[in-house]
Amino acid sequence: MKNMNFVRVAAANIDLKVADCSHNKRKLLEKINEAWNKGIEIIAFPELTITGYTCGDLFFQKFLLGESESAIKDIMELTSDKDMLIAIGAPIEFNNKLYNCAVIINCGTLIAIIPKIYLPNYNEFYEQRWFNSGVGIKGCEIDYCGNQVPFGTDILMRCQNNPNLVVGVELCEDLWAVIPPSSYLSMAGATLILNLSASNDLVGKSQYRRDLVVNQSARCLAAYAYASAGYGESTTDLVFGGHCLIAENGKLLSESEKYLLQGNLIFTDIDLDIISHDRKKISTFKAENHSNYRDVPFMAYQRHNEVERSYQKQPFVPQEDNEMLRRCEEIFNIQTIGLSKRIQHIGSKSMLIGVSGGLDSTLALLVCVKTCEKLGLDKKMIKAVTMPGFGTTDRTYQNAVQLIESLGVDFREISIEEACRLHFKNIGHDESIRDITYENTQARERTQILMDLANMHEG
Least confident of 17-31, 41-55, 127-141, 290-304: 290-304
- Fold of domain 6-298: Nitrilase/N-carbamoyl-D-aminoacid amidohydrolase (3.60.110)
Structure confidence at residue 144 as a pLDDT band (50, 70, 90): very high
Name the β-bridge partners of 155. Answer: 294
221-259 pLDDT per residue, tens? 999 999 999 999 987 778 999 999 999 999 999 999 888
Model pLDDT, residue 1: 47
206-226 pLDDT per residue, tens? 999 999 999 999 999 999 999
Q: Is the model's pLDDT at 172 over the cut of 50?
A: yes
Q: What is the mean pLDDT of residues 375-401?
A: 91
Q: Is the model's pLDDT at 82 over the cut of 50?
A: yes
* Residue 451, helix vs strand vs coil: helix
Q: Identify whether 116 is a catalytic site residue.
A: yes
281-293 pLDDT per residue, tens? 887 776 666 778 9
Give the dihedral of Cα atoms 93, 98, 99, 105; nearest 10 deg.
20
**Type of residue at 231:** Y
Better-scored residue on pLDDT, 373 or 320: 373
- What percent of the chain clears pLDDT 90, i.e. is strictly above it? 80
Q: Is the model's pLDDT at 69 over the cut of 80?
A: yes
Q: Break the chain into its structural domains and give their ranges.
A: 6-298, 321-456
Q: Identify whether 47 is a catalytic site residue.
A: yes
Model pLDDT, residue 288: 60
Separation of CA 104 from chain center: 24
Pick the catalytic residue from 25, 27, 41, 47: 47
Quote the mean pLDDT of the chain: 93
Architecture of domain 321-456: 3-Layer(aba) Sandwich (3.40)
Q: What is the mean pLDDT of residues 3-16?
A: 92
Q: What is the mean pLDDT of residues 174-194?
A: 96
What whole-number distance in Å separates Cα of residue 202 and Cα of residue 212?
A: 15
Provide the edge-to-edge strand list for the sheet that holds 192-197. 251-255, 244-248, 223-228, 192-197, 166-171, 155-159, 294-298
Q: Is residue 348 packed enough to be buried (19+ CB in 10 Å), middle (13-18) or exposed (0-12)? A: middle
Question: What are the DSSP calls for 405-421, one per residue?
Answer: HHHT-EEEE---HHHHH
Pairing of strands 155-159, 294-298: parallel
Pick the catalytic residue from 21, 55, 101, 172: 172
Buried-exposed string 164-194: b where 16+ CB fall within 10 A, e elsewhere: bbbbbbbbbbbbeeeebbbbbbbbbbbbbbb
- Contacts with 359 (C-beta within 8 Å, 6 or more apart), sequence order: none
Model pLDDT, residue 308: 80
Better-scored residue on pLDDT, 412 or 309: 412
Alpha-helix runs per DSSP H in 19-82: 21-37, 62-78
Pairing of strands 155-159, 166-171: antiparallel
Query: Are the C-beta atoms of residues 303 and 311 closer than 8 Å to each other?
Result: no
Model pLDDT, residue 3: 55
Q: What is the mean pLDDT of residues 268-279?
A: 95
93-106 pLDDT per residue, tens? 999 999 999 999 99
